[in-house]
Structure 1
């Protein structure tokens, strides 16, 4: 098989599976796949900062959860419109990311990570204590999802398969945006910042502006993933904003492959499939899951997808960086 044909097959096979999955999988596995897609978008948004720009953010969950709250509040207090809820979440997440990012991009390395952690903790505290708006520790639940209205079709999101296709469409658009971004001159700037910030500053590039743009895009996509997560679970809760939730994005990114566009998606699939399979057989699932993850990280130092791509590139005589 020629390299280009192999690449096309490698891209077409997962796409065909995702499109056909609801027609041959049980409802249980359709819901798991929905969760995997949602968390893939969340982890891919983190990867834009960590894998491509070299910025470790522990505040990604704060914007993720805020996006969910923006959408749910829009449904409860605004028009019963799915698209209005998405619009509120996108605008709110972008604005919140811009405010937080303006402060955080002024520092790098561990200082950036601490700043994002601090903002994430503040957002969690607001969501947990502002009971009149956010429902406090109980969160905001009990809302009804409006129907999915497309040009020639109307579907109920109470149907797991209809909801799955909504999530698949949103994740596809988010992944397409990330693909175009990282394969553009802007993506080259991001990788240059990751490799040598000072050299880029010397040639006149505004490093802070580039970082802020990446932070806003990553935050907006994280907020979009938060909407899908809140809709999937039928609740927006403070736990979505906790810094430990950002740890999931870190884990999935490293497991699948940092700096590889779809690496976090592979990491999310491995993590959630293992979690559901192991929990079905033992109550001590965390011990076994942790052991398997340790083995995978040691066996695939570049992440599962990253290591496989590196191996394939070496066999073609073009080693990946």
Structure 2
């Protein structure tokens, strides 16, 4: 009798249908993609240039979001692997004349393979020691790029990196114009986001979250935590290497400046400002913060001061980043229709 009464009892606040929320999320993704596809029709070359940079930095930001948001390890070495990808792609295209697709894939693979021997000792460390170790990698990368003159040409850098060439034979064309770069970056960024989503929604992704929440408990349940952390460290480097390759062919110049802490800091700001451990976090952060940085070029003297004030304001107003704000907005839209149905 008690079970029958409980089965007929309804809660005051109805549960939000997951299917409705998923529909809202996919609809928002479709609208955002449609807006991006139409952007070259309404934007000039300068704004397209800024959006290309946003999509380039989105790639290493996805890697950092993977290792920080889904495994709980803060790495400051994303800029290192970004630079490695840029140098590998530039050297291959200059000395061997390989195609852009080959350079892109090899740059990502090279960054991941270099991360393997670096991650084996680094991941034995914990918390702040691991952060300091990754910061040390930044310093080492800067010194190697400046002093290995025979390979990197030192401070002179590598210039004349060929523009991306897409296709085969008579059907191949060289990417030169800003709209062409924009669509190329959009395709690569979209594929990277899809790969990121597929990874974190897989059983491996659930193991990563378990390690982040309670590493000892995950290990006691049979999860090979150290192996997973090493794989995540390598995968985050692969994302950064892909971004570096695209950057090299976009700027056509690669120098030791690419290993500066500025790049690692920018990637970190994108992830923290967008929302750590959130699927749309890196996407939102890359477009918002690159847009803010470019918009502040109108005041070069106060640019960094205003940028710092914006970051401080964001920390106090949106301490968890911008992604939760968009998620709450989507949930409210999805719940609006269901609330009306319950009212009837």
TM-score tier, shorter chain, comes to: over 0.9
Q: Secondary structure at the match of 1:56?
A: coil
| CA separation of 1:313 and 1:183: change in aligned 2, threshold 3 A | same
For residue 316 of structure 2, what is the aligned residue in structure 1? Answer: 298
1:70-149 matches, cutoff 5 A: 70-149=88-167
Residue 223 of structure 2 is aligned to residue 169 of structure 1: no
Residues 1-321 of structure 1 mapped to structure 2, 5 A cutoff: 2-149=20-167, 153-310=171-328, 312-313=330-331
Q: 1:87 & 1:37 partners in 2: Cα distance?
A: 17
TM-score by length of 2: 0.86
Moved more, 149-158 or 180-189: 149-158
CA 178–63 in structure 1, closer or farther in 2 if over 3 Å, else same: same
Distance 1:28 1:316, change over 3 A: closer
Find the residue that maps to 1:67 and give its secondary structure: helix
Residues 89, 223 of structure 1: 8 Å contact kept: yes
How far apart, CA to CA, are the structure 2 residues paired with 1:2 and 1:20? 27
d(CA) in 2 for partners of 1:299, 1:71: 40
Note the C-alpha offset of 1:294: 1.3
Give the RMSD, CA atoms, in angstroms: 2.1
Larger Rg: 2
Report which stretch shifted further, 283-292 or 210-219: 283-292
- Flag the 1:107–1:307 CA change in 2: closer, same or farther, 3 A: farther
Query: Structure 1 residue 174: deviation in Å?
Result: 1.2
Residue 215 of structure 1, CA deviation: 0.8
Query: SS of the counterpart of 1:301?
Result: coil
Q: 1:22 to 1:311 in 2, by over 3 A?
A: closer
Q: Residue by residue, what CA displacement relative to the aligned partner does 1:64-101 show, whole Å, maximum 9, x if unpaired?
A: 10010000000111134222322331221121111212
Q: Is the 1:156–1:162 Cα contact (8 Å) retained in structure 2?
A: no
